[in-house]
Amino acid sequence: MTSADRLKRSRRAQFNWLLTALPAFPLVLLVLRLWYLSRQDLPTMLLLVQYISPLGMISALVIALIWTVPAVILVIRTLGGILLVSSPEGEETTRRSGLALSAQRMPDWVVVLGVGLAGFTWQMRMLPTLLMLVVAIIGLTAVQRFPGERAMLVVATLVVPVAAGIIALIWVWPGVRTALAAGETGTAVLLAVPPLLGWLLTGPVPPRAARLATHWPAVAAVAVAPIVVGVVFLRAPVLPNSAIEVDPGPEVIRGQLITVDDTATTILTRGGDVMFVPNDRVRSKTLCPEPVRPQFSRITVRGWAVDQSALEWAAPTRPAGAAVDPRCLGRPVSR
């Protein structure tokens, strides 16, 4: 067996291990979420495991992390495409690199679905980055499939990215000026810089630098992604916020409702304690809405808040000035 064959088998084994471990990652996230919710108390966590619906946990996982799916798809297609067009070996590069192989085998319809999902779930400040990735993928795909069509390649790798970047920059320019005036340099960079870089990602890089420019960003993304995903999901709600008015008092107990049976109402208080309230003590109860997520940035682009996604903008929400049940504020309504 040659050294090339051994290297190929080793890489294939590593890829198989990755595919084996990947389905376990959501399960680990769900367990960590319950451990975090129980304030690291094992009996409380076991109680939550007994009563929390797996479907509810999975729904919270999907809602909190749906934006990561198109990010993975588009980054793999872009970095793998750059590696493919930059390497002179061609098929040899595909056999040696899992990144290039994944990009080459990824169907176009998967990329289209990823772009559509990103357009709905990414914040407005990230849409210029989405445009940069889209024009880069278009140019890289044209280079791979039509290497001899010079006129087509000029249009796909230069004209389209530059024109799209200029149009996008014109559209976001009011937000860029507002962000700079407000001192939000990071927001201004995210809005203005990516549209101008799309054409740089459509062509090959020097062969010696191709692996450095593609594999190391991919490795860094793989290392950082679980941490980011875990932090986001650990803060996602998985139990309904409730307020229970009980006797004597009356007193209001606020927390997350675990279950209601024939004898008692079980609630997890904000301090992490589990309370079993006899049903004959319960005077009234209500479901409390999630607090309105504060906007970390007041910058808007033509009326669209930069930290709001298209899905959040289009979906119906509770009015900001809607009345809040006094029990959700800790005040009883019965006297």
Q: At what angle do helices 207-234 and 98-105 cross, to 10 degrees?
A: 80
Q: Are residues 228 and 303 in the same domain?
A: no
Q: Are residues 293 and 230 in the same domain?
A: no
Q: What is the pLDDT of residues 237-275, one digit of tens each?
A: 788 888 888 888 778 888 888 888 888 888 888 777 888
Q: Are residues 80 and 221 in the same domain?
A: yes
Q: Are residues 84 and 163 in the same domain?
A: yes
Q: What is the pLDDT of residues 22-62, one digit of tens each?
A: 667 777 777 888 888 888 888 888 888 888 877 777 787 78
Question: How confident is the model at residue 22, as a pLDDT?
Answer: 65
The pTM (predicted TM-score) of the whole model is 0.79
Give me the mean pLDDT over the 80-88 stretch: 83
Q: Are residues 183 and 93 in the same domain?
A: yes
- The residues, any chain, with a CB within 8 Å of residue 145's CB and separated by 6 or more, are none
As a whole number, the mean pLDDT across the chain is 81
Whether 199 is in a domain gets the answer: yes
Q: Which of 212, 234, 256 is the last residue of a domain?
A: 234
Which phi and psi (to 5°) does residue 314 adopt? -85, -30
Q: Are residues 148 and 219 in the same domain?
A: yes
Q: Look up the CATH number of the domain holding residue 281.
A: 2.30.30
How many residues belong to the chain?
335
Whether 245 is in a domain gets the answer: yes
Q: Are residues 109 and 180 in the same domain?
A: yes
Q: Are residues 81 and 141 in the same domain?
A: yes
Whether 334 is in a domain gets the answer: no
Q: Which of 181, 207, 234 is the last residue of a domain?
A: 234
Band (130; pLDDT cuts 50, 70, 90)? very high
Whether 256 is in a domain gets the answer: yes
Give me the mean pLDDT over the 94-112 stretch: 81
Range of the domain at 295: 241-315+325-329
Q: Work out how many domains the chain is built from and give that number.
A: 2
Question: How confident is the model at residue 322, as a pLDDT?
Answer: 65
Q: Are residues 168 and 28 in the same domain?
A: yes
Please return the burial class of 135, using the count of CB atoms within 10 Å of its CB with bins 0-12, 13-18 and 19+. Answer: buried
Q: Are residues 113 and 228 in the same domain?
A: yes
Whether 320 is in a domain gets the answer: no
Question: How confident is the model at residue 112, as a pLDDT?
Answer: 94
Q: Give the 3-state secondary structure of residue 165.
A: helix
Q: Which of 234, 253, 285 is the last residue of a domain?
A: 234
Q: Which two tokens stand for residue 72?
A: 């993975």
Q: Are residues 145 and 288 in the same domain?
A: no
Separation CA 309–CA 313 (nearest Å): 6
Q: What is the pLDDT of residues 170-206, one digit of tens each?
A: 999 988 888 888 888 888 898 999 988 888 888 788 8
Q: Are residues 217 and 250 in the same domain?
A: no
Question: How confident is the model at residue 119, as a pLDDT?
Answer: 92
What number of CA atoms fall less than 13 Å from residue 334's CA on the CB side?
A: 13
Separation CA 332–CA 251 (nearest Å): 6
Return the number of other C-beta atoms located less than 10 Å from residue 139's C-beta: 24
Q: Which two tokens stand for residue 334?
A: 């019965």
Which segment of 78-87, 150-159, 217-226 scores lowest on mean pLDDT?
217-226
Strand partners, 287: 242
